[in-house]
Structure 1
Amino acid sequence: MNTLVIYTHPNHKSLSYAFLQEVIRGSKENGKIKEIKVLDLYEEGFDPVLVFNEHKRRRDMHSDPALAKYREQLIWADQIVLVYPIWWGRPPAMLMGYIDQMFASGFAYKDKGGLLPEGLLKGKSVVCVSSMKGPAHYPLLWLNNSHKALMRKALFNYVGIRKVKFFEFGSMESPRGKHAKKLQQVYRYFKTVSA
């Protein structure tokens, strides 16, 4: 199994970075994970801004040469892992900009003229590891589970990815946030995950 980890946080001293290290550590100890690649969007200098004009058209985004290496990474990956904080009830703008550009028509899905498209990324799995300041049940009780609905239904199911797992950790700025326990939980998962 090839694992692509997409890390989205500007600070390498953050809790998100600590979660990234546990994803990597667990994956390296998992005999079923053949290779792991990490894409740090901030360190990469990924440009999340969409530009459409007479030279760049939205319908051509699936073949934009500037995005070729990122498309190759997604094709290569059997498992896609997203590590990010939840800000304002959703992933950071940097990650959303990546999603806007990478999960384009003609690459991630194909319109068939009906209600739903054909997902072109079938057979892959996704794990979202996210943390937030608010309590763990905040997205469910106050936001109607919008974060998970956005990621699972509006994005991954749409492009054919059915296996989506969430680690959505709340109260992470509290000294009672049980950081060590949650970091260990992520490590154990990636040490044993098989697909």
Structure 2
Amino acid sequence: MNMLLIYAHPNHQSLSYAFMQQVLRGGGENPGVKEVRVLDLYEEGFDPVLVFNEDKRRRDMHIDPELSRHRELLMWADKIVLIYPIWWGRPPAMMLGFVDRMFASKFAYLDKGGLMPEGLMKGKSVVCISVMKGPTGYLRLVMGNAHQVLMRRALFGYVGIKKVKFFEFGGMESPKGKHAQKLDKVYKYFRAVAQ
């Protein structure tokens, strides 16, 4: 299995970064993982802003030469792992901008005029690892599970990815946040996970 990690946090001293290190460690010890690659969106200076004008047309997003390496990585990956904080009940603008620019028509899906498009990313799986200040149940109880609905249905379901797993860790700014146990849980998952 080829695994692509997409990391969206501006600080390499963050807990999100510590989770990425555990994914790399676990994946590196997993005999089923052939190769792991990392897209660190902030470090590479990824531009999350959509631009449409005379030179950049929406209908050509799927062939934008600026994003060819990113498209190749997404197609190469069997498992896509997104690592990000939850800010204002959702992933950061950097991650959402990556989604806006990358999951384009004719690359991630085909619009056939019906209610739902044909997803072109079938067969892949996704793991979303997110951390937040608020309690773990906040997203489900107060926000109506908006984060998972956004990622599972509005994004990945739309492009044909049915297998989506979430690690949502709350209370992470508290000294009682059980950081070591949560980091170990992610490490053990990736050490053993299959496609």
**TM-score relative to the length of structure 1:** 0.99
> Which residue in the other structure is 2:143 paired with?
143
What is the correspondence of 1:10-159 to structure 2 with a 5 Å cutoff? 10-159=10-159
Match of 2:162 in 1: 162
One-letter code aligned to 2:89: G
Q: Distance in 2 between matches of 1:165 and 1:155?
A: 14
What is the letter of the counterpart of residue 133 of structure 2?
Answer: K
Q: Percent identity, aligned pairs only?
A: 70
- Tell me which residue corresponds to 2:172: 172
Shift of 1:168: 0.4
Q: How many residues align?
A: 195
Q: 3-state SS of the aligned residue for 2:142? A: helix
Pairwise CA RMSD: 0.4
- Runs of 4 or more, structure 1, over 3 Å off, are none
> In structure 1, what is the Cα distance between the partners aligned to 2:31 and 2:57?
43
SS class of match (2:3): strand
Letter in 2 for 1:91: P
Per-residue CA deviations over 1:51-92 (Å, capped at 9, x if unaligned) read 100110111101101000000000000000000000000000
Structure 1: how far apart are the matches of 2:89 and 2:123?
28
Q: Which runs of 5+ in 2 are unaligned?
A: none
Amino acid in the other structure paired with 1:147:
H
Q: What stretches of structure 1 of length at least 5 have no aligned partner?
A: none
How far apart, CA to CA, are the structure 1 residues paired with 2:140 and 2:31?
35
User: 2-side partners of 1:29 and 1:130: how far apart?
Assistant: 22
